[in-house]
Homo-oligomer: A and B are copies of this chain.
Amino acid sequence: MAECPLPDDGADTVLLGHGSGGRMSARLIGEVFLPALGNPILDRLGDSAVFDAGGLRLAFTTDAFVVHPLRFPGGDLGSLAVHGTINDLAVAGARPLVLSAAFILEEGYPLAELRGLVASMRAAARDAEVHVVAADTKVVERGKGDGVYVTTSGIGIVPRGVELGPECIRPGDAVLVSGPLGDHGIAVLSAREGIAFDTDVVSDSAALHHLVGALLTSGAAVRCLRDPTRGGVATVANELARAAGVAMRLDETAVPVRPGVRAACEMLGLDPLYVACEGRLLAVVAGADAERALAALRAHPLGAGAARIGDVDAADDGPPVRLRTPFGSLRALDVLPGAQLPRIC
């Protein structure tokens, strides 16, 4: 197992595309990490690991945050690191319990800036009613980091009776999103490149555990939840369809996208279906319960823009995810090979 072939994208070094969340990321994980570290829990590649411990069902997740720039409209590294990890727990159906934070600081980074990021982290954690109970700080030389990187990990408890995962997805299910797509990615890009779009775009970064709680208690049969971060909804839909052994049909005209995000994407040649969100939920629910689930989402401030964007079909010989275009034709919606937007989270 120690020897396995190099990723067939031909790379023999790490490339930016390996961090994209797309096909190169999947190859790196599948060909370097899983052959060495794989086990039945890790192999599921869920947003959280879920396992039994002394009679509890625990969810456990970790994420490194390397967003650049550190501040962007609607958030910063601190709030993003809290929201991102809470959301990975939430989409596993878990009630977030505690967080940890490990900081890698670059020599020369202003302490006043650090103080601001930590204050933002505190505010996000306080609003989410979750404590950071463990932390670590390391310092690297100037030129070996980029101000600050932070890795947050989180533990949650999955209530009895909550069973979520791609294996629960069935033909006939409906695919929902909790609001407009792509706000986070475009907000970071605008801050990074100094682009002023016609309409100011603000990151959707938010903690989703209360929205998830509202959905799970709505009575709708919820099959699977994900937060479409790196790679966006298109990538998540592909992962779920492949893991579930089904086909998904998304309807482009039903996908909610803010005008400012749409304009920015058109200017930059991006497809909002691949742009990262940090406060949106993708939910697969039983088709018959779609309206009930949408009503539950829309009753929560973070789900006001919820929409049904597609349906689950039985797998066939075609691509696992297809998009119905505004012209009524169907086209394959594939995973991107490499980087669309690096360092977005």
Residues of chain A having any CB pair with chain B under 8 Å: 2, 4, 6-7, 11-19, 25, 28-29, 32-33, 36-37, 39, 41-42, 48-49, 51, 53-56, 58, 60-66, 97-98, 100-112, 114-115, 118-119, 121-122, 125, 131-141, 143-146, 149, 151, 153, 155, 157, 342-343, 345
Whether A18 and B105, one on each chain, are in contact in the complex, defined by CB atoms closer than 8 angstroms, is: yes
A14-B105 contact, Cβ under 8 Å, with A19-B139, A139-B342, A157-B54: yes
Whether B111 and A33, one on each chain, are in contact in the complex, defined by CB atoms closer than 8 angstroms, is: no
Whether B134 and A64, one on each chain, are in contact in the complex, defined by CB atoms closer than 8 angstroms, is: no
- A208 CA / B118 CA spacing, docked (Å): 33
CB-CB nearest 7 A-B residue pairs = A19-B139, A62-B100, A153-B153, A151-B151, A49-B133, A64-B102, A41-B133
Query: Contact partner of A112 among B12, B101, B144, B343, CB < 8 A?
Result: B12
User: In the complex, which residues of chain B have a beta carbon less than 8 angstroms from the beta carbon of A146?
Assistant: 140, 144-145
5 A/B residue pairs, CB under 8 Å, sorted by A: A13-B107, A42-B135, A58-B155, A62-B136, A104-B149
A16-B63 contact, Cβ under 8 Å, with A133-B42, A140-B146, A140-B343: no
Whether A134 and B49, one on each chain, are in contact in the complex, defined by CB atoms closer than 8 angstroms, is: yes
- A120 CA / B278 CA spacing, docked (Å): 33
- A66 CA / B61 CA spacing, docked (Å): 21
Whether B110 and A12, one on each chain, are in contact in the complex, defined by CB atoms closer than 8 angstroms, is: yes
A107-B15 contact, Cβ under 8 Å, with A42-B131, A140-B66, A155-B60: yes
Whether B14 and A134, one on each chain, are in contact in the complex, defined by CB atoms closer than 8 angstroms, is: no
User: In the complex, which residues of chain B have a beta carbon less than 8 angstroms from the beta carbon of A28?
Assistant: 111, 137
Instruction: List the B residue with the shortest CB-CB distance to A48.
Output: B134
